[in-house]
Amino acid sequence: MRENTFTKILSEVSAFAETASDLAALQNFIVEIIPERLPYYNWTGFYMLDPEDTETLVLGPFRGAPTEHVRIPVSQGICGAAVARNESVVVDDVHADPRYLACSLETRSEIVVPIRVNGRVAGEIDIDSHELAAFSEQDKEFLETCAAIVGRFMERAQALSSGASLPAGLASGPSSGAK
């Protein structure tokens, strides 16, 4: 059942990414659709590297309980670990992981997936669950695909803003309806 839900969400996210007006619109769409369809995703959000200080993650759009962690040094927490290691981090029990920066007493597990732009980490998708060991390999693959869609959107937006020529198939840009 989850795989079917993942496929549907990815299809909708991909389609939205083709017409999204900007990154915030795409991020907001993602943080709305994911927890709506996957109820064990209790906190869904984005952290992006601060362009003025690439050693700090800045909270972007999210859905779930408010967090005091609006800026996280790359050297701290599970979010920082995902950036520092440039790989997804899955924690089955956050209370057993010394890296965990407590946001909610209800959070039991977390998954953080890097967003890459031109091969470099630009941010991440962060998901918390109130369930222990909530995230499977399929969740990880699903979120990595979501992160790749966001990364490609950011690459197209960068190319359009710099006036660079785009590879074949991307010439229509992120804001046209063409595929």
Q: Which pLDDT score, from 0 to 100, does residue 42 have? A: 96
Q: Which pLDDT score, from 0 to 100, does residue 3 have? A: 81
Per-residue pLDDT of the chain in tens (179 residues, 90 and over written 9): 688 999 999 999 999 999 999 999 999 999 999 999 999 999 999 999 999 999 999 999 999 999 999 999 999 999 999 999 999 999 999 999 878 887 777 899 999 999 999 999 999 999 999 999 999 999 999 999 999 999 999 999 988 887 654 444 443 333 333 32
Burial classification of residue 41, based on how many CB atoms lie within 10 Å of its CB (0-12 exposed, 13-18 middle, 19 or more buried): buried
Q: Which pLDDT score, from 0 to 100, does residue 159 have? A: 84
Contact 151, 159 (CB under 8 A): no
Q: Which pLDDT score, from 0 to 100, does residue 103 have? A: 75
**Two tokens, residue 22:** 């900007």
In the chain, where are the structural domains located?
2-159
Q: Which pLDDT score, from 0 to 100, does residue 1 have? A: 64
Locus of tokens 């996957």: 38
Residues 24-59 pLDDT 10s: 999 999 999 999 999 999 999 999 999 999 999 999
Contact 99, 73 (CB under 8 A): no
Q: Which pLDDT score, from 0 to 100, does residue 100 have? A: 82
Query: What is this structure's pTM?
Result: 0.87
2-159: in CATH 3.30.450.40: yes
Residue 110: strand, helix, or coil: strand
DSSP H or E run through 1? none
Q: Which pLDDT score, from 0 to 100, does residue 163 have? A: 63
Q: Which pLDDT score, from 0 to 100, does residue 101 have? A: 82
E strands of the chain, at which residues? Answer: 43-50, 53-63, 71-73, 89-91, 109-117, 120-129
What contacts 97, CB < 8 A, 6 or more positions away?
78, 91
What contacts 31, CB < 8 A, 6 or more positions away?
44, 45, 46, 61, 62, 63
